[in-house]
Amino acid sequence: MSATTSNASVRSTEPLVWGNPSFHDVTQTVSGIVEERKTPIWWWVAISISGALTLNFFAMMAYLFWTGIGVWGNNVPVGWGWPIVNFVFWVGIGHAGTLISAVLFLLRQKWRTSINRFAEAMTIFAVICALIFPGIHVGRIWVAYFMFPIPNQMAMWPNFRSALMWDVFAVGTYFTASFLFWYTGLVPDWATLRDRAQTKWRRLIYGVLAMGWRNGNKQWKHYELAYLLLAGISTPLVLSVHSVVSTDFATSMQFGWHTTIFPPYFVAGAIFSGFGMVMTLAILARIVYPPVKNYMTVTTLERMAKVIMLTGMMVGYAYITEFFMAYYSGNKYEQFVFVNRMFGPYAWAYWIMFSCNVIIPQIFWSKKMRTSIPVLFVASIFVNIGMWFERFVIVITMHRDFLPSSWGMFKPTIYDIGIFAGSFGLFFTLFLLFLRFVPMIAMSEIKGVLPQAQVKHHHGHDEGGA
Amino acid sequence: MPSLKNGNSKPAYWRSMDQLADTDDFRQFVEKEFPGEAGQLDSPVTRRSFLTVMGASMALAGLTGCRKPVEHIVPYVSQPEDAVIGKPQFYATVMPRGTAPLGVVVETHEGRPTKIEGNELHPSSLGSSDLLALGSMLNMYDPDRSKRNLQNGAIKTWDDFVGWWQEHEAALAENRGEGFALLSESFASPTLNRLRSEFLKKYPRARWIAYDPISEENRDRGLAAATGSVQQPVYQFEDAEIILSLESDFLQGEEESVKHSRAFAAGRRVMKPEDTMNRLYVVESGQSTTGSMADHRLRMPAGRIAAFTAALALELEKKGLSIAGSDALAPYASHNFDRTWLEAVADDLLHHRGKSLVTAGRRQPAGVHALVYAINDALGNHGHTIRYRSREDVLGSDSAALKQLVDEMKGGQVGTLVMLGGNPVYNAPADLDFAGALKGVDVSVHLSEFVDETSKKVTWHLTRTHFLEMWGDARATDGSVSVIQPMIDPLYGSHSEIELVALMVSGEPVRGHDAVQETWMGRYLRGEGERGWRRVLHDGILANSGEQGGAPRVNARGVSSLLRDEPFSTDEPTRDNLEFVFASSYTLYDGRYANNGWLVEAPDPISKMSWSNAALLSKKTADDLGVKEREALILSANGVDIELPVYVVPGHADNSITLEMGWGRKGFGRVADGHGADIFPMRTSAGVDFALGGKATGTGRKLEIANTQDHGSMEGREIIREATLDTYRKHPKFAKEMVHVPDLKSLWKDWTWSEGYQWGMAIDLNVCTGCNACVIACQSENNVPVVGKDPVRNGREMHWMRLDRYFVGTIEDGRMVNQPMMCQHCEMAPCEQVCPVNATSHDNEGLNVMTYNRCIGTRYCSNNCPYKVRRFNFFNYTNKLPELIQMAQNPDVTVRSRGVMEKCTFCTQRINAGKYQAKAEGREVRDGEVKTACQQACPTNAISFGNINDPKSEVSSWKKNSRNYGVLEEFNTRPRTTYLARLHNPNPKLGDPVFDTEFVPHGGGHGEGHGSNGHGGNDHGAEAGH
């Protein structure tokens, strides 16, 4: 495999890991976080907040199941409200993980190694949050299994013409693949933790998780192949999941939804929001675990900022294309939808979306901005806000459709807000558990990109760990 | 509850609930169940304690005076010959309403009425019904109805009352009824009238008067002046080519609107370019259903219309017509009315002598009615488009007599007052202070369906039967007589007014059935006996008992003296001297339907608001007052302030505010209480219909209103397609040419839809008046739940059918157009393709069907429905329905649970019933045999439904009509419901601001843009909206 010149040059100019740690230092730093006896205070504070939100999430869902989805603000014409906004939002976030781990892996982007574990974990937690929403948004959750093609005595069969069915499979597959990919990458690190374990329980639990990993050459060979294959399998998923999610909208006949640009536009948006979220989390991790700074370096963050800017511009291009196509189609229904988005009662949401997604990322033309941690942090939050509003704008488009007689407005209720906040609670709870109990940086992989691993200068890519 | 303490301490046998109520167990129970409230048992009776006692004693003893119909109906010991369990039976009866009863047919299932339809044999109905008639059924099942007779709040039986009356009567009979007054609602009933004369014979000094807050009193007085006696007009709208309505809402708000709608539609229906249609001029203050059908509509404060009528009469005279009584019109010669309009109307009327019709609304003063009589007479319309009958068996509302009665009550001259229905404490003119006057009456009796405002202030409240529970009779406006027969035993042992009067006349309880039969056997069925009686019951009318009527000579002196005695106002309302128009509610009438969920939630045809009234006013008035849409407006008149939301209605007269009656109830019922504001305190004898001197001030605060349609503009979309009659004649296919429908293909193999029945519907927008009868018919037929104010505000109303109302023209002078909208049963249904579980799919007869059991509630179908006609059960709307209301439900239609989508089914249960019947008889379903509920209710026959595979069916012929078009069909939905475009017949002299440009058909090329150049350029563009 030949590394591209640009990769080589990037590598030669900037070390991927700062502070020139030895292999042992890497193990020490990353495992140390997990093995630390005393759980830090901030962790307890953080998990009590996110845990409270999570409990509220489940309590509100219980109430929802008990009374009906009328507790939300959904109505006619806005049949889908925040639950679907949240679903698309979380699925979008879940994109960065696979992109970083699979696509950048195949593209030999070495800088990905410091954040891939992190991003994959985020992906899995985001997809878990995402999967909850389509489940709970249906009116009769107790028969939601009708969506699955289970042979039954009622002679029911799902309608495969419906994009919601495609969703079921696309997101399900994505979750499975992402999880396998993440877990496969974790196996050598589980083994490291097992080997370093001081207590019986640790040894047992990490031992089970490590699935008998012995660091044997044969095992590494299989591992490498499996990892490569999974990366290959996951790569199309990066494109497919959000493309399929976008068909929920694009295959309908509502203007503002019914456009062929949706699949690529959604994928770009997903990567954009995913990188935004990884950025937010990485900066937080750098704050709470300062040693991590040498791995999740400013250079890595800068590269992510470039991706954010690029995908932000793609999204901006999509917004403009949509608008232009509406104008160019000569279709007054479609034209109205876009004019209404920009100047209608929800124009504020549109402009929040537009500013956050298109204008704010433009600051990354400046290297100073790209390398300033506070700027990156604030911008990444804006990216997430903007992307949530993008989905809000799309879903709420329904409020003024074909017949003006049925036009209406959508107002979220306390349950919309509580459940949305609760999904963040769940996400952060899972993430905090991840930080505490799982190595957040792929030790084996990071060792492969250390200068020490490159002594032979024969092959650019990671042929093995320590 | 005085007797609580007085009874025996330990009765061995209890005779009344009061005695039972005094047991220790009961007291403990109350203490436990209602802590802190038991003390109220000893205090003077409050409504609360009454309910407590009732509830507790029923729970304790299982004693219910309430006779639930199930006890009588199920099971049949031996099945009646003609009754098949599961098959509905239909009985004819009549809905009494004032002087214009409506013949109905009631569908009953195993003895309980579930649906009201019109009676084809009855001249007032001709098979159709209206909003109020359809909704009135729910009143019978109202759980808040009065269930007990009360004497000063204490529960009494009917026998108690009879005993009391027999004692009381002796004194009354002795002084020949001195100080005895009877106040009823207006009626048209042979039996009641017979009893009235017997009553007056027995009590010669007694008085029996009638009062209704909404009545034909102005017309009665006007016609009495013009002809010498009170006359009942019988209109023939079908023969009128030119109609001028002077604030007469003859299509919905006024007497006989069902009949008039049918006749008006007959004169308006156009099926070929050669057909003619009538031309309607409307002068009115607020928007009305009739106004929405106008070819020319002139907005004008209600108080100015009288002077306008005078000006019209003078204009007609100037053009050579001689109008009786016109000598009194000199004061109105100078005016500032639109002269072009006036002249154009006058010319049109003159060119159509004998074929025109001028009609004045019930709010217009007597003088206008007298003058209109003279105008119609001079135009030669009498005997052609309008005839008159002298009234019999009718007692009309008389507010002068009410005023006199109240004066006497206040003077202590009325010892006994019996009120048959009505609710004068609530709705008598405010200056009379009826409630105060009632204190001067020794004994008052109120027969009422509800423990209403009046019932709470009387000695005796007697529970009254609903018309579906009683025997009675009624005389239609054309004189036809019918019998009212009960569909069910009175749910609460109530009694009818006939039974009460019969008791007062004879001193003995008389069954309603016997009283009615006595009248009929003696008057109409002499010699026919039981056979004739049964035929009348079966038909719902006595055959050939109606009469055509004639045209009494106009009494010129009568007209002119009335005009002189009661001169028309020439004052114009201003910003600081506003005109308040007190309008009857389209949905609550005078407030009697205030506790009726269907009607309270039914959107008002004009404002599309439910669950409240509003201050309806023009944009200019709102601007002048400095108030914004939905702002809380403080209205002051007669020293009373009320607060209502501002609702701008395009086309409303300036400086005039329309206020609807019936709202703002307290302690009336669980549905009624606390919605809107009561306007009756503002309504005085001096201005019962409208009054100047109103003030309005904004508050800056917004009020939440629940309306089913927020947006009134069509946004330049070709949703309701209209053209003038001229354009139609030049471009018969104008409706289709307005939008280019490209040759669209299906993604999958097309179904041919060529075999068997293929159900389809067509709706003629040219005759649809937007009256909302179909909405309630659908609700009643299909068990559509009532959801409440907040859900409606949040767009969660469940009506399967809605009337889309748009305004066209300017925000100041907008014209209202209507379109019934429900599931279009698209052949390429967008909803079906997106449902992940196949819960909505097509059947082989072209119906878009919902499988409720399969629906998981993703709401994707609703999102993808371009017509937004799908309704979602956000909560379980049916599990908390009171048991009584459950009995009003149609057993042939599934009750939907929470979490499923629902929508119009084309009344699939009726289609199946029709198919079963046809199959049993070995034939095909005949055209017109299956009628949807909306179609059956429609007073103008605007809806046609049937098999589109049968080229001879009516619906096929409508669909072949050149005006036929599908809404949004350019998006390849292929709707099975199509519309016939609306036509306008403007007077060429006046033109039509909306239609003054030449029609330009669509270019046809795909690339030229879809429908951007519709008729009259962008004529919907400058629309009024909210």
Predicted confidence (pLDDT) at residue B114 exceeds the cutoff of 50:
yes
Residue B66 is predicted with a pLDDT of 42
CB contact under 8 A, B874 and A78: no
**Is it the case that residue B550 has pLDDT exceeding 70?**
yes
What lies within 8 Å, CB to CB, of B383 at 6+ separation is B550, B551
Chain B residues in contact with A333 by the CB 8 A cut-off are 717
Q: Which of B124, B548, B123, B551 is nearest to B354 (CA)?
A: B551
Q: What is the pLDDT of residues B710-728, one digit of tens each?
A: 888 888 889 999 999 999 9
Mean pLDDT of chain B: 87
* pLDDT at position B995: 62
- Chain B residues in contact with A162 by the CB 8 A cut-off are 833-836, 860
Please report, rounded to a whole number, the percentage of residues in chain A having pLDDT higher than 90.
53
Counting every residue, how long is chain A? Answer: 466
Query: CB contacts < 8 Å between A and B, how many?
Result: 175
Q: pLDDT of A374-425, one tens digit each?
A: 999 999 999 999 999 999 999 998 899 999 999 999 999 999 999 999 999 9
Select the residue of B712, B874, B971 nearest A68 (Cβ to Cβ): B874
State both tokens at A305: 């900022």
Nearest Cα residue to A126 out of A98, A101, A92: A92
CB contacts under 8 A, A 325-354 vs B, are: 330-333, 336
At residue B809 the predicted structure's pLDDT band, cuts being 50, 70 and 90, is confident
Count of H helices and E strands in chain A?
18, 0
Are the Cβ atoms of B1012 and A332 closer than 8 angstroms?
Answer: yes
At B95 the pLDDT is 95
With a CB cutoff of 8 Å and minimum separation 6, the contacts of A133 are: A83, A84, A86, A87, A90, A423
Task: With CB atoms and an 8 Å threshold, state whether B854 touches A76.
Answer: no
Q: How far is A330 from chain B (nearest CA, A)?
A: 5
| B1023 pLDDT tier (thresholds 50, 70, 90) | very low
Per-residue pLDDT band at A454 (split at 50, 70, 90):
low
With CB atoms and an 8 Å threshold, state whether A76 touches B713. no
pLDDT classification of B1001: cutoffs 50, 70, 90: low
Chain A residues close to B805, C-beta within 8 Å: 405
Question: Quick check: B964 and B958 in contact, CB under 8 A?
Answer: yes
The separation between CA A60 and the C-alpha centre of its own chain, rounded to angstroms, equals 24
Q: Which of residues 207-226 of A touch B (CB under 8 A)?
A: none
pLDDT, chain A, mean: 87
| Token reading at B280 | 């309607």
Contacts of A249 in chain B (CB under 8 A): none
Measured distance CA(B401)–CA(B405) in Å, rounded: 6
pLDDT for B454 beyond 60: yes
CB distance B835–A159 less than 8 Å?
yes
Residue A53, min C-alpha distance to chain B (Å): 25
Cβ contacts (< 8 Å) between B877 and chain A: which residues? none
Identity of the residue in B715, B838, B901 whose CB atom sits nearest the CB atom of A336 = B715
Instruction: Return d(Cα B133, Cα B102) in angstroms, integer.
Output: 8
pLDDT digits (tens, 9 = 90+) for B247-281: 999 999 899 999 999 999 999 999 999 999 999 99
Partners of B805 in the β-ladder: B818
Q: Please write down the HEC assignment for all residues of B487-547.
A: CCCCCCCCECHHHHHHHHHHCCCCCHHHHHHHHHHHHCCCCCHHHHHHHHHHHCCCCCCCC
The class level of CATH for B722-1008 reads: alpha beta
Assigned architecture for domain B578-707: Beta Barrel (2.40)
Query: Residue B753 has what pLDDT?
Result: 86
Mean pLDDT of B762-788: 94
Helix then strand count (H, E) for chain B reads 33, 40
Is the CB of B968 inside 8 Å of chain A's CB atoms? yes
Looking at chain B, the whole-number percentage of residues with pLDDT higher than 90 is: 75
pLDDT value at B117 more than 90: yes
For B711, which of A251, A332, A404 is closest by C-beta distance? A404
Q: What is the DSSP string of B664-703?
A: -BSSS-TTTBTSS---GGG-BTTBSSEEEEEEEEEEEEE-
Domain spans of chain B, in order of start? 3-61, 149-213+395-469+488-512, 217-392, 578-707, 722-1008
Q: How far is CA A306 from the centre of its chain?
A: 17
A454 touches B at CB < 8 Å: no
Q: What is the pLDDT of residue A27?
A: 82
Pick the CATH number of B217-392 from 3.40.228.10, 2.40.110.10, 3.30.479.10, 3.10.20.30: 3.40.228.10
Using the Cβ of B860 and the Cβ atoms of chain A, whether some distance falls under 8 Å is answered with yes
Give the position of tokens 């046609």.
Answer: B944
Nearest CA in chain B to A64: B875
Q: Do A253 and B864 touch (CB under 8 A)?
A: yes
Lowest mean pLDDT, pick from A461-465, B349-353, B474-478, B933-937: A461-465
Q: What fold does the segment set B149-213+395-469+488-512 form as a domain?
A: Rossmann fold (3.40.50)
Report the chain B residue with the minimal C-alpha distance to residue A400: B711
Task: Dump pLDDT digits (tens) for B182-202.
Answer: 999 999 999 999 999 999 999
Which residues in chain A have their CB less than 8 angstroms from residue B793's CB?
A: none
B901 CB within 8 Å of a chain A CB: yes
ipTM exceeding 0.85, yes/no: yes
Between A430-444, B568-582, B587-601, the lowest mean confidence (pLDDT) is in A430-444
Distance in angstroms (rounded) separating the CA atoms of residues B635 and B642: 5
Beta-carbon separation of B876 and A68 below 8 A: yes
CA distances from residue B587 to B102, B144, B724 in whole angstroms, order as listed: 17, 19, 32
Model pLDDT for residues A222-267, shown as the tens digit of each residue: 998 998 898 888 888 888 888 999 999 999 999 989 989 999 999 9
Kindly report the three-state secondary structure assignment for every residue of B202-270: HCCCCEEEECCCCCCHHHHHHHHHHHCCCEEEEECHHHCCEEEEECCCCCCCCCCHHHHHHHHHHHHCC
Query: Domain segments of chain A: what residues?
Result: 5-454
Which token pair is A321? 């294309």
Higher pLDDT, A465 or A175: A175
Residue A455 pLDDT class (50, 70, 90 cuts): low
CA distance B834 to chain A (A): 4
State pLDDT tens for residues B142-191. Answer: 999 999 999 998 999 999 999 999 999 888 888 889 999 999 999 999 99
- Cβ contact A330–B857 (<8 Å): no
CA distance B682 to B702: 23
Best residue of A67, A406, A416 to probe chain B, by most B CBs closer than 10 Å:
A406
B993 reaches A (C-beta below 8 A): no
Segment 823-842 of chain B within 8 Å of chain A by CB: 830, 833-838
CB distance from A81 to chain B under 8 Å? no
Contact at CB, A158 and B791, closer than 8 angstroms: no
- Choose the mutation target among A133, A403, A416 for the interface with B, i.e. most B CBs under 10 Å: A403
Residue B78 pLDDT = 67
Please compute the mean of the pLDDT values over residues A70-83 and round it to a whole number.
92
Tell me if A164 and B802 make a contact (CB, 8 A cut-off): no
Phi/psi for B151 (5° steps) reads -115, 115
Q: Identify the residue among A72, A137, A140, A409 best suited for mutation to test binding to B, counting B beta carbons within 10 A and taking the highest.
A: A140
B356, B240 in Cβ contact below 8 A? yes
B75 upstream amide cis, omega within 30 of 0:
yes
Q: To probe the interface with A, which of B744, B868, B897 has the most A CB atoms within 10 Å? A: B868
A166 touching B (Cβ < 8 Å): no
Are B854 and A406 within 8 A, CB to CB?
A: no
Contacts 24+ apart (CB under 8 A), B46-55: B46/B153, B47/B153, B47/B451, B47/B456, B47/B667, B49/B1, B50/B1, B50/B150, B50/B153, B50/B155, B53/B1, B53/B17, B53/B21, B53/B155, B54/B17, B54/B147, B54/B148, B54/B155
Half-sphere exposure of A151 (CA within 13 A, CB side): 0
Query: Is A68 in Cβ contact with B835 (below 8 Å)?
Result: no
